[in-house]
Amino acid sequence: MSSVPDQGEVDPSERTFEGYRRDDGTVGVRNNVLVMPSVICSHIVADRIADSAESAVSVPHDHGCAQIGSDHEQTERTMVNLSQNPNIAGTTVVGLGCEHLQSGELAARIAEQDRPVRETAIQDAGGSDACIEEGTDAVAELASTAETADRTRASLADLTIGVVSSDVEDSTRTVADPLVGDVVASLLEAGGRVVVAGTERLAAHEATVGDRAANEAAADALRAVANRSARQPGNVRNVVHRSADLSLESLTAAWGDAPAEEVIQNGERATAPRGLTVVDAPSRFEEATTALAAAGASLVVHVTADGIPTGHPVVPVLKVTGDAETASALATDIDIDARTADADDVLERLAAVADGELTATERHGLTKFAISRIGPSL
């Protein structure tokens, strides 16, 4: 496990772990094979294929068929960039054969990024059983290669850390978010990169949100995100409506104080080598975490007042709450009680998880995956 010394005020660059350095220089904290259905119709077959190997994970979703325009582009973009996540050693794409997002084309786009990829499709293979057999062989091949990957000494400053705060409850804004913001500040000061999601909370703050940017391009992008969010229906957690009565500082406390270096689309990969990147993605946990994983996060910190107990198949998720009832009632589902922890405690736990320690959701085997929709599917 982590060799980080048990002491306070340790710089994140000194908190080291054994990770997986990929050819593009990024560092992963897990070494999994991704089984990726290109369409909803093949996700059960993809699940069966993933069951064949301990290191394989699948990402069942509701997309890939009858999507048009921006939604189709976002789904494809997300899938391609998920395959580039540092935690992924290789990808097997599983298609049906008649979908809009064809498995062969998707695999070709992944191959263009110089990452290991294999492909199979139910109709091309001759049915579900044959496809499962083909996919199982492909996963076994990729898993065998992944097992030979060397672990390398790295630090928290070498990682891209994702952050999402999925509600605006008092305990989140006054206890948990400020704690996570301190962690973000430490990571950025050490030269790390942090990607954050949950942009619908910016809807009522178009006039001032540009102040959170490091440059004019990022400021313009933040204002555009706020304007678009204000024109869309509020989300199911009523974050947009409640955010109108809260300060921008309160709403973005989990992002730390550093200005945003860039703002990227949902499903895009972060390009700033360090600093804060804002991902235009909602705060709903499974959608936000998928967007953060596509952006390049190898580990995600999730702030939740109600203790959402699910994790994500691609990235370990560290659950943080500031709510007393949640911390007590869901003690085995929460990793960090923000009422009693400080930033150094969180950094120590991040290093331990990066070194292989399981998060609460990983211990329970609970994952959920989703890709945001822009408009209706036909």
Same domain for 321 and 282:
yes
Q: What is residue 9's predicted lDDT score, i.e. its pLDDT? A: 66
Residue 239 clears pLDDT 90, i.e. is over it? no
DSSP strand pairing (88-95 vs 336-337): unpaired
**C-alpha angle 144-145-147 in degrees, rounded to nearest 5:** 65
Amino acid at residue number 188: L
The SS3 call for residue 262 is strand
Task: Specify the residue for token string 């921008």.
Answer: 248
pLDDT in tens, 178-211: 999 999 999 999 999 999 999 999 999 999 999 9
Q: How far apart are CA 188 and CA 115, in angstroms?
A: 28
265 located within any domain: yes
Q: What is residue 234's predicted lDDT score, i.e. its pLDDT? A: 55
Percent residues over pLDDT 90 in the chain = 85
Residue 155 clears pLDDT 50, i.e. is over it? yes
Q: How far apart are CA 79 and CA 111, in angstroms?
A: 12
More confident residue, 66 or 28: 28
Same domain for 177 and 131:
no
**C-alpha angle 120-121-123 in degrees, rounded to nearest 5:** 145
Q: How far apart are CA 48 and CA 52, in angstroms?
A: 7
Same domain for 295 and 179:
yes
Tokens of 196: 């954050």
Number of folded domains in the chain?
2
**Residue span of the structural domain in which 239 resides:** 156-363
Query: Containing H/E element for 94?
Result: strand 88-95
What average pLDDT score do residues 162-185 get? Answer: 97
DSSP strand pairing (56-58 vs 336-337): unpaired
Q: How far apart are CA 235 and CA 237, in angstroms?
A: 5
Residue 236 clears pLDDT 60, i.e. is over it? no
Same domain for 358 and 228:
yes
Residue 378 clears pLDDT 80, i.e. is over it? no
pLDDT in tens, 329-370: 999 999 999 999 999 999 999 999 999 999 999 999 999 999
Which residues are CB-contacts of 146 (< 8 A; sequence separation ≥ 6)? 31, 32, 33, 55, 89, 90
The SS3 call for residue 301 is strand
pLDDT in tens, 306-340: 999 999 999 999 999 999 999 999 999 999 999 99
Quickly list DSSP for 118-147: EEEEHHHHTSHHHHHHHHHHHHHHHHHHHH
Strand partners for 18: 153
State which of 90, 115, 147 marks the end of a domain.
147
Q: How far apart are CA 355 and CA 173, in angstroms?
A: 30
Q: What is residue 3's predicted lDDT score, i.e. its pLDDT? A: 38
Instruction: Count the helix, strand and coil residues of the chain and give each as a percent rounded to the nearest 5.
Output: 40, 20, 40
What average pLDDT score do residues 284-312 get? Answer: 97
pLDDT in tens, 130-142: 999 999 999 999 9
What average pLDDT score do residues 148-155 get? Answer: 92
Same domain for 138 and 75:
yes
**C-alpha angle 338-335-322 in degrees, rounded to nearest 5:** 25
DSSP strand pairing (317-321 vs 336-337): parallel
Q: How far apart are CA 365 and CA 160, in angstroms?
A: 23
Same domain for 272 and 244:
yes
Q: Per mean pLDDT, which range of 9-18, 79-88, 230-239, 317-326 is the poorest? A: 230-239
Same domain for 343 and 251:
yes
Same domain for 173 and 103:
no
Same domain for 326 and 192:
yes
DSSP strand pairing (16-21 vs 151-155): antiparallel
Same domain for 355 and 255:
yes
Which residues are CB-contacts of 186 (< 8 A; sequence separation ≥ 6)? 11, 12, 343, 347
Q: What is residue 230's predicted lDDT score, i.e. its pLDDT? A: 86
